[in-house]
Amino acid sequence: MADTSKNPKNESIPEPVKDIQLPEGERSLPVLPVRDTVLFPHAVLPLTVGRDSSVQLINQLGEEKSIVVVAQREARVDTPQPTDLYSIGTLATVHKVVKMPNQSLFVFTEGVERVHVRDYQQLTPFMRATVETISESKADTGPEIEALQRNVLTLFQQIVTGSPTLSDELQTVAINIEEPGRLVDFIASSLPSLSTTDKQEILEITDVKLRLQKINKHLAKELEVQQLRNKIQTEVQDQVQQSQREYYLREQMKAIQKELGEQDETQRDTEDLKKKIEAAGMPEDVKKEALKELTRLGRMSPMAADYSLTRSYIEWLAVLPWSKSSGTDVDITKAKEILDEDHYDLQKVKDRILDYLSVRRLKPGMKGPILCFVGPPGVGKTSLGRSIARSLGRKFARISLGGMHDEAELRGHRRTYIGALPGQIIQNLRRAETNDPVFMMDEVDKLGRDFRGDPASALLEVLDPEQNFTFRDNYLDVPFDLSKVLFICTANMLDPIPEPLRDRMEIIELQGYIEDEKVHIAYRYLIPRQIEENGITPEQIEFPEEGVRYIIRHYTREAGVRNLERNIGTMCRKQARRIAEGKTDKLVVTKEIVQEFLGGIKVRVDTEIAERTKRPGVAVGLAWTPAGGDVLFIEANKMKGKGGFTMTGQLGQVMQESMQAALTWVRSNARQLGLDEEFLKELDIHIHVPAGAVPKDGPSAGVTMATALVSLLTGKQVHPLTAMTGEITLSGNVLPVGGIKEKVLAAK
């Protein structure tokens, strides 16, 4: 009996008996499992045998020297069982065995024929099984087989020719194989790119035609992959050769230039940068940093990844206006004329600028003020900044802060980032080419904030005269003096601006224009500008004062003049069209012409207000918005109930509290107002502020709410042409509120 101690199922498997009678065509032979390879008939395969069971198998071979070589399904299995092996293998002859120093064996085997492994008779010390010879189907000698054989041979020759690892002798052997089945076996055993699974599939195919078709597909795929690989290698090799050629030529050019006493391009570039650094007028610490980077640049190869980054950094340092100022001696009288020429009124702003010029004349080294113009749209905040720059004889720079969320847009990105650049402040100073421009920051109240940082916090350093003389951009990483820059910020309202930032600025409020001021601005600025922009002449169109006032009253409701200019522009374009159509008569802008070209009246008239306030419980209030003043209706109504009080109209917390205060005052003064002190017990009161889709807040509607409640409860109508504003207290006092001019303009 055989040793069964290693049998996982602990089954007793008897030793094979030599005189056992086997069916014809079957033999009992030892089985040698192999990993990651398949032995084909007529192929010679050297094997390294290292497993104990396999070594015993080879050592116990008799004179017959016949074994069955079977491939494992999974190469990682160290002790294979019958289920781990394929059922089709190859009968092989062992020609030579060489013992290795590590106790393994080097065995030369030659495949004889395909066999089918039937039954395993023993598992230890090595496998032995009954095998049956597999007879191949006789190859058809028809034209299809011949065509397949020729195609397979051609593909194999092309693969061998294009492969650096396959020997040309393989072509000679393949050409001299006449049998198609044997040719397929030879090619399959010679191709290292075929996987063990693919080789096993070919081994198991007995039909020669199918075997030819199978290897033909593999060869076609392998040839395509090989051609693509060769193409890629050729392209890479060409690129490498080109780079080497350029490097060789560049080195030759350097050597020639050295012999001639000339500088190469890199040296000339370095010298040019050094001259720029010397001429830039940098502070000593900045110059030291620039020269340090220049020395580093000189040691770099132009092909280095950091070369262009370092060169760009040095160029930024060299072109900035470190010491270049406008240097103009400003004439205060001329500056006043320029300001008056460009803008009507705005006396407070003009006085502040002229005061600054006067002090600067006495003390040239003074720091520039930080101004913030706050006012509704269209009152001339941005254009005023341009006029200030013109009056000072300075360059004008402007950035828009509206919607800015990333702090790096102001302070720049660090040089470690790909595509890094300085921030908008440094970039605009480079464009201005002076270190003392008028720098306008528009829409400072619309700054954003998210995970990328807080731009408002970055502005704290920029807008602080005590800090901005050492402003450090993230990209430059050296201090730059911003103290000579005249910073001007603009905003529609102050509330969104953080308190620390607001504290660093001198707030100058620009209020809206009254009708007379708008008429003056229209005749002095808007009408001449629109006539010129639309290609007509003053002789072709006339704007009577009556027509201009009609446009202001019925087609614009704004604190500024932006919509007024648009409407004037519309009238000019209509006249330009009339001229293009052949109508050469002068256009006089009357009420009728305005209605014809601009359409129906767009702003409510007195009759509309009178219609809405003709019943008790309705009062007209005045509100302030970032766009200017506006009229606000307060509507109150009552119904039978139990003292309920409802407030609607998308009201903020402050406005709701004002309503509660107004109701409390009315209840506490009911007797003086001629009301029943218990009026709320049998009533529900509802106060609504149209329009319901617009958010509203603030305390200034308190007196209007109290008036609406008294009107409702007494049944007396509020005068239709009376509007009011003010915060009411519980004692009945009306407190002052802001935005009076805008509110008066809205009432007017």
Catalytic machinery residues: 700, 743
Q: Are 453 and 499 in contact (CB under 8 A)?
A: no
Q: How far is CA 49 from CA 75, 79, 100, 195, in A?
A: 14, 13, 10, 21
Interatomic CA distance for residues 537 and 542, integer angstroms = 10
All residues at 6 or more sequence positions from 744 whose CB lies less than 8 Å from its CB, including other chains: 622, 629
Tell me how far the alpha carbon of residue 521 is from its chain's centroid.
Answer: 44
Q: In sequence order, what are the beta bridge partners of 450?
A: 453
Interatomic CA distance for residues 443 and 427, integer angstroms = 19
Closest to 741 in 3D by CA, of 345, 417, 397:
345
Closest to 535 in 3D by CA, of 565, 563, 577:
577
Q: In sequence order, what are the beta bridge partners of 97?
A: 107
* 499 burial via Cβ count (<10 Å: 0-12, 13-18, 19+): exposed
Please report where in the chains the tokens 């767009």 appear, as a residue. 602
Segment holding 508, helix H or strand E: strand 506-509
**Beta-strand (E) ranges in 604-663?**
618-625, 628-640, 645-648
Interatomic CA distance for residues 382 and 489, integer angstroms = 9
* Maximum CA extent, the chain: 136
Interatomic CA distance for residues 74 and 78, integer angstroms = 9
Per the structure block, which two tokens stand in for 67?
Answer: 């074994």
Interatomic CA distance for residues 175 and 165, integer angstroms = 19
Q: In sequence order, what are the beta bridge partners of 89?
A: 115
Per the structure block, which two tokens stand in for 439?
Answer: 């720098």
